[in-house]
Amino acid sequence: MTRYFRDFPARTGNRMLFKMEHYLEIYDELLADRQGRDLSFLEIGIYKGGSLPLWQGFLGPQSRLLFLDIDPACKALELPGTQVEIGDQADPAFLERVGAAYGPFDLIVDDGGHKMHQQITSFRHLWPRLRDRGMYIVEDVHTSYWPGFGGGFREPASFIEFAKDLIDRMHSWYTEDDVGFPLHPLAREIGGIRFYDSLVVIEKRLKEPPVALTAQNGQIGRSRRMLEVRGRRSIF
């Protein structure tokens, strides 16, 4: 397996990279099949600019790379082959503008202000701009436990509670309670959610209602009966 991310810190130039160290091994594993591919990439949060060469060196030469930050000084950190846009990740109008101008994206990384409303607003407006099979990564979700960032243990408004709620949305095909827990549109869009220490990764996978498979002697049967008997006909 590639060690691109783990080896990168020793190869940095004068731009500071600011990430938690254990993300590097996770990214080597999580993103291995994306290395060298020409993708459309978006990261929120530039700071000193060290992550521009990180992502540019990882992805293919024809990739489109967009970086956002609220700090106007970050515009000077743009590199050839990258774009920097200045704005607030909690501003829906800004997100809609950059999403329309630069999307759709294959990979989105939120390493911005890490406050709850910022992470949630960005997800709400950028998730629709993520391509099928794309990944949406939110870094530093430990701020969900910090009151100064709008978090707290089991704080309903925290991003981690929002992400746990996405688990329910993803499974909303299967409920027997059409009133209390109706089908949510994200059931058709979320393929998986990974929780790592301080990272949440939401994978987009456009789906039809799930099918139960039987196979014996090469004969394949497919059925959605387990959904139908639970009164979920409305989803078909």
Min. distance of Cβ 90 from ligand SAM in angstroms?
A: 5
Does the protein bind ligand SAM through residue 138 (CB under 6 A)? no
Q: How far apart are CA 109 and CA 67, in angstroms?
A: 10
Q: How far apart are CA 103 and CA 116, in angstroms?
A: 24
Q: Which of 47, 146, 174, 181 binds ligand SAM (CB under 6 A)?
A: 47
Parallel, antiparallel, or unpaired for β 64-69 and 40-44?
A: parallel
Helix crossing, 116-126 with 159-170: angle to 10°?
30
Min. distance of Cβ 215 from ligand SAM in angstroms?
A: 46
Beta bridge partners of 170: none
Q: Which of 4, 8, 19, 105 binds ligand SAM (CB under 6 A)?
A: 19
Catalytic residue among 22, 114, 117, 125: 114
Q: How far apart are CA 235 and CA 60, in angstroms?
A: 39
Cα of first residue to Cα of last residue in the chain, in angstroms, is: 41
Q: Kindly give, in sequence order, each residue whose CB lies less than 8 Å from that of residue 124, ignoring residues fewer than 6 positions away.
A: 92
Smaller CB separation from ligand SAM, 69 or 106: 69
Residue nearest to ligand SAM (CB): 113
142: annotated active-site residue? no
Does the protein bind ligand SAM through residue 42 (CB under 6 A)? no
Q: How many residues bind ligand SAM (CB under 6 A)?
A: 21
Does the protein bind ligand SAM through residue 110 (CB under 6 A)? no
Angle at Cα 195 formed by Cα 22 and Cα 186, nearest 5°?
140
Does the protein bind ligand SAM through residue 113 (CB under 6 A)? yes
Q: How far apart are CA 53 and CA 189, in angstroms?
A: 31
Does the protein bind ligand SAM through residue 112 (CB under 6 A)? yes
Q: Which of 45, 103, 150, 151 binds ligand SAM (CB under 6 A)?
A: 45
Residues that bind ligand SAM (CB under 6 A): 17-19, 43-47, 50-51, 68-71, 88-90, 111-113, 118
Give the catalytic positions in this structure: 114
